[in-house]
Amino acid sequence: MPSRKLQPFMKKDGRIHDRKTKEAIRMMAMERILEGEDVAAVMASYGLCRTTGYKWLPKVRGRGRGARCPIARKGTGRKPKLSRAQKSQVFRWVDGGKNPMQYGFDFGLWTRDIVRELILKKFNISLSVTSVGSLLAELNLTAQEPLQRAYQRDPEAIERWQRDTFPAIAKQSKATGAEIYFWDESGFRADAVHGKTWAERGKTPVVNRPGQRQSISAASAVNAKGGFWFATYQGGLTGELFVELLKQLMYRRKKPLHLVIDGLPAHKKAIVKTYVAETKGRLTPHFLPGYAPDLNPDELVWSHAKRTGVARRPLMKGEKLQDRVQEQLQKICDNPKLVRSFFKHPSVAYIFDL
């Protein structure tokens, strides 16, 4: 009869188990030891170190955690290089409204490398770029495309508009039963494609669009209660064209209208002032502070239209851009809930009805 080769004895190793299993084993081992079993035998049966059992005994029998001593505790990990106060300072650097150039760098946008250099310069602490990225994530700071603001913006004028000017307009319109609309113009191109799509790494995706250029301009007026008016036209806006559009806006309008517009030169032409005077108080224009388009909710209308319209689904063969834009703006007009949502953006939170 052939002899059978004996398998070598495999010694138990209690360290190979997961955290919860090791905790349960330690609890069972201590229960057996406290019941009077030999420490060395019990520890060997579970694949644990004999001397560890002797270290546990005084702790289990003593005050404090007692029988809970073998319960697993979350590891504290390596002590962080930056203190809580230093982390708060990093947050204030990035989120405090200043750019890196104000701290002596030659670049105007925050990057992980710049934050890393600033930490080294201010705290004499060296971190890797990866660690800086983890720190920024911990501070709830994310990489975002910044809004672009003109240097000519007047913060005091913007504050006055929000605090005094618009509340006065709202109060006046409430007293006279008038409506408040915000007006703006924009342009559309058939060959503009916005947004991203997915593709294999290293292979740039291709989106077909019309080879023939088409462009159209549009004007719209939006109201906080869901009212929306629009018109399309060719070319740039002139004073004469603006008056014609205003006449369309005022056609059959029963209530007086307060119209908030920007300072475009065409809006301030003499012919416009003459037409406003002819309305005998039915139309009252109000001008937004300069270089502050973010105060106008109609800008959000254009942003929505350009993200969801031709830019997402290019024109098909034979389609006209003007027809597509009119169709899209009509859908916005037919959706008062969508129109009202534009007024929920933080930049236009100052708009309210008294």
pLDDT 10s digits, 20-47: 787 788 888 888 887 888 888 888 888 8
pLDDT 10s digits, 114-125: 999 999 999 999
The structure tokens 């949502």 sit at 341
Q: Where are the domains of the chain?
A: 14-68, 84-138, 155-196+206-348
Q: Are strands 179-189 and 215-222 parallel, antiparallel or unpaired?
A: antiparallel
Q: Regarding predicted confidence, which is higher, 75 or 261?
A: 261
Backbone angles phi, psi at 185, to 5 degrees: -120, 160
Position 9 scores a pLDDT of 46
- Whether 194 has a pLDDT exceeding 60, the answer reads no
Name, in order, each residue with C-beta under 8 angstroms of 44's C-beta and a sequence gap of 6 or more: 12, 50
The structure tokens 């058939």 sit at 190
Give the predicted TM-score (pTM) of the model: 0.60
Do the beta carbons of residue 324 and residue 249 sit within 8 Å?
no
Q: Are strands 228-233 and 257-261 parallel, antiparallel or unpaired?
A: unpaired
- Whether 151 has a pLDDT exceeding 70, the answer reads no
- Whether 132 has a pLDDT exceeding 60, the answer reads yes
Question: What kind and span of H or E run contains 263?
Answer: none
Position 123 scores a pLDDT of 93
Position 354 scores a pLDDT of 44
> Buried b / exposed e across 55-64, counting CB within 10 Å, b at 16+?
ebeebbeeee
> Buried b / exposed e across 73-99, counting CB within 10 Å, b at 16+?
eeeeeeeeebeeebeebbbebbeeeee
What homologous superfamily does CATH list for 155-196+206-348? Ribonuclease H-like superfamily/Ribonuclease H (3.30.420.10)
